[in-house]
Amino acid sequence: MSDSAVTAEANKRRTFAVISHPDAGKSTITEALALHASVIGEAGAVHGKGGRKGVVSDWMAMEQQRGISITSAVLQFAYRDCVVNLLDTPGHADFSEDTYRVLTAVDCAVMLLDAAKGLEPQTLKLFEVCRHRRIPVITFINKWDRPGMAALELLDEIESRIGMRPTPVTWPVGVAGDFHGVIDLRAEHMVHFERTPGGSRAAIEEVLTDAVAADRFGEDYSTAVEEVELLAASEQTHDQKLFLDAVTTPVLFGAAVANFGVRQLLDTLIELGPPPSPLDDVDGRPRDLDAPFSGFVFKIQANMNPAHRDQVAFLRVCSGRFERGMVVTHGTTGRPFTTKYAQSMFGSSRDTIDQAFPGDVIGLVNATNLSIGDSLYSDRKVSYPQLPSYAPEHFATIRTDDTSKAKRFRKGIAQLDAEGVVQVLYSDLRGEQSPVLAAVGPMQFEVAAHRLRNEFSVPVTVDNLSFSLARRTDAEGATRLRTAPGVEVFTRARDNAILAAFPNRWRLQTIVSDYAGVMLEPLLADTNELPDRAR
C-alpha cells in the first residue's frame, strides 16, 4: 500500500476516550453511541445487576455487580465513512491511572457532565490532563431529561473554572427536566426527540421548522432562540483551530439513557473530531503517519475471556500499515515479535483483524512478553515516551492462607502487576508469601482481591498498612533506612526500583532532616504532567 493510501486510511480514523466523574453516564453513552452506529441492536441502562444485557463495555463481573466501570474498554466500529475507536474509561478516582494511560492513546476526548452537578472534582482533574496534553475536548452535558442547572450557568462554570471557552453545537429547548429537543446550531433547525419504549432503541427524531417549533413549544422555544442569539453575540461559536488547540470545547446537550442527542454527538465526533496526527517519539521527533509501522502498548488485560485465560495487549497504531502476522521489533528487548493473533476489540468481544492503520487500537492476544509502555516497530527504530505512573497513596499486605494455592497466588499477583492494576512490592521483612500492594485508591485492593478469588480461585486476605506515600531510594539509602522507625523499604516487582514508604509527610521531612544525604526522589518522572492527585 502506498504512503498516500496509509494517510488516507488514517484520515478516516476517529480515536477518542469518554471520560467523566463517576455516575455521569459514561457506559450509558458508550452503548448509546454504539446503538446509533447500528453495531448493537439494543442498549440497557447501567444500574447494577438488572437491565444490563445491552451493556458492551462493562464486561468484568465486578463492574456488572456494582454498576461502575473499573477498567477501560475499547469498542471499534464503522460509522458513515469512518472507523471509530471508542475507549470507555473508569470514572472513579481510584482508577485514574488507567484513565490517564488511555488518554495517551487518543486524539480527542468526550467529557460528560451531569446537568445537575456540573463540574465535579474528577472532571476538573481530567480536564487539566487533557489541556496539558493538548487533547481537544468535546463536552456532552448529560441527563438533561432530569432537573438540573441552567444551560447558561453550566457554560459560565466551564469557562470560569477550567478556562476553556464553551462553544455550543446544540442548544436545549426546555429547561433541564423538561427536555423537548435541541436546536442544531450548524443546521439551524430544531430536532424534537421522542423516547422509544424503555429507551432501549434510538430515539425518534423529528426535524422542525422555526414556525412549527415556535407553535408547538411556545415560550420554551423562544427562550432557546434568544439564548442562541446571545451566544452568537458573545462570539461563543465554533472555531475549528481553537478547538484543535484545546482552547475551546464544543458543547452538546442530551440524555444518554433516553438516547436523546446521541446521534448529534456521534456526527460531531466524525465532523469535528481530529484524525490521527504524527506522534512524537522519545526524543521529541514526530513520527510521520506514512512511516513504517509503529505503535505502543498502553494497556494489558487478562482473563477477558475466562474460558481461555488469555492476556491481551492493547496497542495504539501510530504509523504505517499493520498486517496480522507481520514480524516487528520489540523496542524494549530488540527481539523479533510475531503478531499472529491480532484482533479488533468490541468490549469483551473481538474478531480477527488483518490490517490496521494509524489511530486504530488493536488487541495482541497472548503477548505475555509485552508490558505497558512498550513500543513495537518495523524497519526504522522508534521508541515512544514511557507512560508515567501515579504515585501510590495506599498500601496493603495481601496473602493466602491456602498453601496448596501458593503457586496460583504468585501467578495472579504477577498478572495484576503486569496489568498495572496495582504496584507489587516485596521486602525482606515480609517475604514473597506476603507482598505489599500499592495503589492510588483503596478500591484497587478490592479489585485485586476479587480477581484473585474469581479468576484464580485463590482466597486472600487484605490488611491495610499505615503508609501514605513513597519515595525512590538507592542501595545505600535502603541500608540506612531499614532501621529507621516508621519507615519500610521495598523492592518494586515491575522494575526492581527500591522504594521507601512513609506514614505521612511529617515523617518524611523528619527522615530527610535526620538522614542527611539519603536519596529520596519522587516516583514520577514528570510530576507536572499529572493532576494534583498524582503529585
Query: 93 and 237: one domain?
Result: yes
Considering the chain, what is the average pLDDT of its residues?
A: 86
Query: 284 and 261: one domain?
Result: no
Do the domain assignments include residue 99?
Answer: yes
Reported as a single tens digit per residue, the pLDDT across 152-205 is 999 999 999 988 999 999 999 999 999 999 999 999 999 999 988 766 678 899
Binned at pLDDT 50, 70 and 90, residue 46 comes out as very low
Query: 114 and 223: one domain?
Result: yes
The cell numbers describing 265, all together, are 454527538
The four Cα atoms 21, 48, 181, 268 give a dihedral, to 10 degrees, of 50
Query: 425 and 502: one domain?
Result: yes
Do the domain assignments include residue 481?
Answer: yes
Q: Is 147 assigned to a binding site?
A: no
Query: 351 and 469: one domain?
Result: no
Query: In this model, does residue 62 exceed pLDDT 80?
Result: no
- Single out the residue of 407, 395, 387, 393 nearest to residue 448, CA to CA: 395
Cα gap 324→285, rounded to integer Å: 27
Reported as a single tens digit per residue, the pLDDT across 185-199 is 999 999 999 988 766
Query: 163 and 255: one domain?
Result: yes
Query: 265 and 289: one domain?
Result: no
- Single out the residue of 408, 393, 387, 398 nearest to residue 495, CA to CA: 387
Query: 218 and 286: one domain?
Result: no
Do the domain assignments include residue 385?
Answer: no
pLDDT on residue 52:
38
Residue after which a domain boundary falls, among 325, 351, 377: 377
Do the domain assignments include residue 386?
Answer: no
Query: 79 and 156: one domain?
Result: yes
Cα gap 40→29, rounded to integer Å: 13
Domain extent for 432 = 394-534
Q: Is 237 assigned to a binding site?
A: no
Q: Is 145 assigned to a binding site?
A: no
- CATH number of the domain at 484, please: 3.30.70.3280
Query: 238 and 137: one domain?
Result: yes
- CATH number of the domain at 38, please: 3.40.50.300
Residue after which a domain boundary falls, among 238, 272, 306: 272
Q: Is 358 assigned to a binding site?
A: no
Q: How many domains does the chain have?
A: 3
Query: 216 and 113: one domain?
Result: yes
Residue after which a domain boundary falls, among 345, 377, 409: 377
Query: 127 and 175: one domain?
Result: yes
Q: Is 92 assigned to a binding site?
A: yes
Do the domain assignments include residue 248?
Answer: yes
